[in-house]
Structures are given as structure tokens and as C-alpha cells.
Structure 1
Amino acid sequence: MSSPIFQDLGADLDFQEIWDLQEDLVQRRRDQKIEDIILLLEHAPVYTIGRTRDKTSLRAHKHLPHPVVEINRGGQGTFHGPGQLVGYAILDLTQRIKDLHIHLRNLEEAIIISLGILGITAIRRKGQTGVWVEDRKIASLGVGVRSWVTLHGFALNVQEISLAPFQMITPCGIDGVTMTSVESEINQTVSMKEIKIIMTESLQKVFC
């Protein structure tokens, strides 16, 4: 089992276009035409809701300032946009461990390792997928799977600019949750380039 290929797609990317790209990559991975790949990027501002179709997490969703997209992942409503690092993992679990829960825990572990390098003590919370700093949520996860090939992945709040849009929703359907970011926790500015390098190294360790 080899480490995935990593591709940095840049920033301000349309959600639907990247979703279509994921679907294409999943099919190509199922057909064994490509190796495992992890995409790293920042989206143009968008709210998304998972398979539950329970829009209560996007209260007042008709009046949100950015588009709302329903997608085929687990989880409720969240926000993607500038200042947030998104990672989409297209992995063939038949070549790894055929367990979606372990896949989620592995993604969380890579984020926890990365935050530790930055001096942030991050944790999991029982029964709540994601990564937390004390009672503040810093990363959200939601995945899908096709014939044991995964898609979607994680969203790590890096810069403070990524936080304001969460105030208009109930992030991940958790009432009263406070969202945080890397910058908020270390009280200094960070570059997305630096975080991408750290996350890539951590993901390589976990998915080697």
C-alpha cells in the first residue's frame, strides 16, 4: 500500500465543479485507472448539507448570503469558503481497511497530528465526528463511498475569515457549538501554504 498522490488545486473553487471532479476520480479509481489521490483546496463561499436532508442546521437557509448545495455525504449543514482548508480523499479501501469509520478516524488523526505541530492540543469527542479544541470545533468531516472508494473528506478552519459564515447556521446540527480556527487558537496569522505542507505530511504518515 503506497501513500496517496496529493494535488493542490488552489483557491476560490466552485463547489459543483469540484464535486463533479470527485465523481470522475472515484469512477477512475474504481476502474483502477488512477492511484489513490487527495485533493487540497479552498472553495468559493458555499453552504452544504449532507444525506440527512434535514435543513434545520441551515436555519433561515433561504436567506443565507451564499449558495446552498445538497450533497451525497454524511452529516448536516456546514460552510466552505476562503480561509478553510478542504481535503477530499479518493481512496480505494479495498487496498486499505474496508471500514468507513476507521477512514474517518484516520482523517481526524491526521488533523490532530497537524494541529499538534502547530502547538494546538486537539481531541475527538465521543459520538461527534470531527476535531475539537476543548469545546470548540476546528474541523468538520463528512465522507461518501462508492464500491469502497471514498470521496469528500475534511474541512479545517485555518484563518479567522472562515468563521463568520458559521454564525448564520447550526454547524453540523450541533446547537450552541462554537467554531474556531488555527489563527484563533494560536493568536497569530498563518499561511494556507504552510498548513497545506503540514497536513500533507500528516496525511502521508496516516495513509502510508
Structure 2
Amino acid sequence: MTFISHWLGQVEYQAALAQQREMVEAHLKDADTPDSLLLLEHPPTLTLGRCAKREHLLVNEATLQQRGFALFEVERGGDITYHGPGQLVGYPILNLKRLYRSNELDLHRYISDIEEVLIVALAEFGVKGWRYPGYTGVWVDFEGDPAKIAAIGIKVNSKGITSHGFALNISTDLSHFDLIVPCGICEHGVISLSRLLRRTVAIDDARPCVIEAFRRVFGYENNNE
């Protein structure tokens, strides 16, 4: 079994959402549609998931507009999060029932597998990523405290087709997270790979690591990029 990875560059959030929906629809129309991984960056954007609390947005919408931030309410799980340049965003469009060879939808397994992809990819940079019980995403140790380096928010429809996905901070402007309570977590901060390593890491450096980790963790034979 193979998957197709697509590097889209920087894409407006709404355009990426429309592309995801088109690809999900293709899966629904044709069971032989290959699984895909969309990789991209977004311009500065805030999204509120199904469980988001508006009070976790710390500025008003007029301020966001003045600063050039887009704001969307979306159907993924989770609270509020930030997307922006220097952040590698991944949207897997997968048929989970086919991938896991089961008619039961094991969403905990799927989220754990995405976390594992990111943990494996970070290891290529000598970084130990880990799961924090009670929190979705991937964490690292930074100056003696836990810091979140990757957020995850997914949607899986009744047919087992996935959309939305993960956001891995590579060289993200971390000050942009000050506009929100990231993922509703106020007791811990966020971090980027570049700040953690104290050197600039490019998206192009991280992307192949994520693609290969995705292939290995999900058990694909190869990637038809």
C-alpha cells in the first residue's frame, strides 16, 4: 500500500480546507482512491475547533484583522490554535478502515500514530518528543519544563475518511501564540524546533523527515510524491 505526499507551499487556510473536502469526497466516491498527506504552511491564522472556548482568544477580531490574522471556526476536534509561516502543517486524507483493516474506527490509535510520526521525525534532529498524559500532541523538555512543539486536531467521518491533522512548529514566530491560550492550555508554553536547537531549521529540512516517519509509522510501502 502506498500514499501520496503533496507539498503545497504557503496556502490560505480556506483554500486548504476546500482541497481537503474535495479529497475526502473523492474517497467517498471511489474506494480505491489512494491515501494522501498534504503538507503546507499557512499565513497567520487562528482556528477554533469544536471544543474551543471563545475566551481563549485573547484579543478582539478587529485587532486580528488589523494585524493581518485570519480567524476560522472549523469542524476539527480541539480548542483554539495558531497556524503561520515556519510551521509545518500536515493534513492526512486517509481511509482508516482500509488502513487499519477494521470497520471499527479507533480514533485513539489514529491520534497516537500521528503523535508517533512527529516523535520519530523529531528524533532525526536529536530531539526527544513525548506524549503528555491528558494532552493531545507532542511535547519536549525546554529549560526544565514541558513545552508543546506539535498540536493535533482531527476529523474522521463515519466512513473512516480523515481530514485536518497536525501542526509542527519548526521556525514559527512564537510571539503569535500570545494572542490565544494555545489549545486551551495555560499552564505550559509552546516551543519551536529552531528555538529548542538554538539554530534556524528550515521547513525543507523537516519535511522529508516527517514524510518518511509517516510512511514507517502507518506501514506504507512507499510514497508516490
Aligned counterpart for 2:123 among listed residues 116, 120, 131: 116
Give the 4+ runs in structure 1 shifted more than 6 A: none
In the TM superposition, residue 91 of structure 1 has moved relative to its aligned partner by: 0.4
Q: Distance in 2 between matches of 1:99 and 1:43?
A: 29
Q: Indicate whether 1:102 and 2:109 are aligned.
A: yes
In the TM superposition, residue 34 of structure 1 has moved relative to its aligned partner by: 2.3
1:177 alignment counterpart: 188
Gaps of 5+ in 1: none
Q: Indicate whether 1:153 and 2:165 are aligned.
A: yes
Note if contact 1:171-1:177 (Cα within 8 Å) is conserved in structure 2.
no
Range moving further from structure 2, 47-56 or 141-150: 47-56
Q: Indicate whether 1:42 and 2:41 are aligned.
A: yes
TM alignment of 1:34-73, pairs within 5 A: 34-62=33-61, 63-64=63-64, 65=67, 66-73=69-76
Q: Matched residue pairs, number?
A: 205
Range moving further from structure 2, 90-99 or 111-120: 90-99
1:126 alignment counterpart: 133
Greater Rg by CA: 2
After superposition, give the CA deviation of every residue in 1:137-157 in whole Å (9 maximum; x if it has no partner).
000000001221000000000
Q: Percent identity?
A: 37
**Residue identity matched to 1:60:** V
Q: Indicate whether 1:29 and 2:27 are aligned.
A: yes
Gaps of 5+ in 2: 221-225
- SS of equivalent residue, structure 2 residue 19: helix
